[in-house]
Chain A
Amino acid sequence: MIKRIFKPQRQSSQVINYVVLTLALLFALGPLVVLGFNSVKSTAEAMANPLGPPREIHLENYPNAWVEGKLSTTVRNSAILVAGTVAGVLVLGGLAAFSLSRLDPPGSNLFMLYMLGGSTLPTFLFLVPLYSLWRILGLVDTLFGLVVIYIALNSPFAIFLLRSYMVQIPRDFEDAARVDGASEIQVLTKVILPLAWPGFLTVGLVTALGVWGEFQVALIFVHVPDLFPVTTSYWYFTTRYSRDWSLTSAGAIMMIAPVLIFFFSLQRQFIEGLTQGGLKA
């Protein structure tokens, strides 16, 4: 929620706010509107009129882009990557966060420090040796190999966020459960999980978004077209069809549609989740 913190100014002095903010809004939305326009133009019209609204609606661009861009394969691959990574991050990150926030493992400060430092490490530092390791293990050109890397890359953020949610839950709740004879695992599933679920939702959303749009690691680790996720596949698609803007625009709209739907329906979780890191300071 946005709290209004300044005393409302006189009506006239707000005009300049709205003017500047609307310009910022148009800057953000304009390119997306053009993308939407181009996605329903014919190829010829996209060349003749590349920025304006369409004169005729060509919805067949969408099924065409779906087929030409091999989206049925790549969407499936990306869905597997998203589901696997989100499940792994929530389960493994949740277990670690529970331990760190509740059970005070001896020496856990060192682990937290590593998580903090490790997340500022350039990924390229370990990607080169990792690629050789993955070759030896037979994990290059597998979705599973990519999921393992994504779990590692997304877990520091997940652990920090989940831990901060769990720390806020009053200890009395779980102590009551322990008095009743609950094991630590039961404390986690019956007490902590139901109370910390907004944290899990946020972590799930942010991780899913990151994996859906991830490019760099996928570019390095997957070279088989049948295993391409939407991102690398779309990039090759745009280089192949660089002169067919209507087709590539329709492909882009289909690729970002799930992102937009989730973003607008769960805006608050998205924005708070994505900005959490910077607010910790």
Chain B
Amino acid sequence: MTRLQKIRHWFRGPTFRKKILPWLLILPILLIHLLVVIGPSLGAFYYSLTDWSGIGAADFIGLDNFRTLVEDTNFRKAFSNNMVWSAFFLTVPFVLALVVASLLAGLRRGAMFYRATIFLPYVLPSVITASIWSNLMNPRLGIGAQLAKLGIPFLNRAFLGNPDTVLLSVAFIDNWHFWGFLMVLFLAAMQNIPPDLYDSAKIDGANRFQEFWHVTIPGIRPTLLFMFMMIAIWSFLVFDYVWLLTQGGPAGASDVLGTFLFREAFNRFEAGYASAIGLTMSFFAILIIGLFGFLRRRGWEI
């Protein structure tokens, strides 16, 4: 065999085909992940223990960043806002999506049309959604002001300018764009429920609400619980809508961990401190996944 033939033989042989080629095909995307995600994530562990501006050398300061963090009133405010955000997103979109999906599942005609249109806001870029709604909530020109002209004054307030209403108003806007997504997921899950279950429920004389409660809800339970977990995690990562609409203001009233971290890292150049915040956010995500894993072990069938 010539050298060339040997090489060719090796490329056609089992070692290359079964062991090397498979990983060779994965390698490019793996390298990108090492560069963009894995390397910098490991870096964040180290930098969270340093005083670092993001440029040049980092001074090792041990756990000081975390000590500062628990004392930081901005962090506490942002954290409690994230909790409010979670509470909102674990209830409001779920109720809306469940009600509308179950009504849509029972529809004779037009279901495709309703599904697509209700889903539509989900595909809009966040900058557009934020811009539309900040106009609609404008205290002088928005919906509230126009209703006031018609003699309905109770919506006529600066929703995004008032510390008492700002956080829930931003959540409302994010949810306007989000809940259709959840609705479509629930609808798809409902369509996998065997129809005979509804037939037997009818024979047993169940009304629509009983059907919903005893057949639909148990039928989509895996999707319901999975989305409960995902939304709990996503609630800690929110950034776009808060930054676009208020940048955390007025006076920190709508600040969340994402916007707090962004300011520390890119406006105040406290990259070490920001890494500590990022690590804390990841800790919450892992905590939530762990909690669901634990419940699953306990036989919750998640």
A residues with a Cβ closer than 8 A to B are 1-9, 13-14, 16-18, 20-21, 24-25, 27-29, 31-32, 34-35, 38, 47, 50-51, 92-93, 95-96, 98-100, 103-106, 108, 111, 114, 118, 120-133, 135, 148-149, 151-153, 155, 159, 184, 209, 212-216, 219-220, 230-232, 234-235, 238, 245, 248, 252, 255-256, 259-260, 263-264, 267, 270-271, 274-275, 278-279, 281
Contacts and interface: CB of A to CB of B under 8 A. Distances in A.
Main secondary structure of the interface of B (DSSP, over half): helix
B265 A20 contact: no
A204 to B, nearest CB: 15
B127 A122 contact: no
B136 interface: yes
Interface residues of B, number: 106
Given A28-B117, A50-B142, 10 more contacts: A21-B100, A25-B117, A152-B32, A220-B262, A231-B125, A234-B128, A245-B141, A255-B125, A271-B119, A278-B185
Given A35-B132, A128-B47, A235 B141 contact: no
Contacts of B116: 263-264, 267, 271
Contact of A28 (B118, B223, B233, B277): B118
B76 interface: no
Interface string B19-56: 10111011011101101111111011001000000110
Secondary structure call for the A interface: helix
A243 B180 CA distance: 31
A132 B55 contact: yes
A113 B91 CA distance: 30
Top 4 closest pairs, chain A to chain B, by CB: A213-B125, A105-B22, A281-B226, A129-B43
Nearest to A130: B40
Interface stretch (B63-71, B161-169, B281-289): B281-289
B184 interface: yes
Nearest to A35: B132
A235 B266 CA distance: 18
A248 B265 CA distance: 30
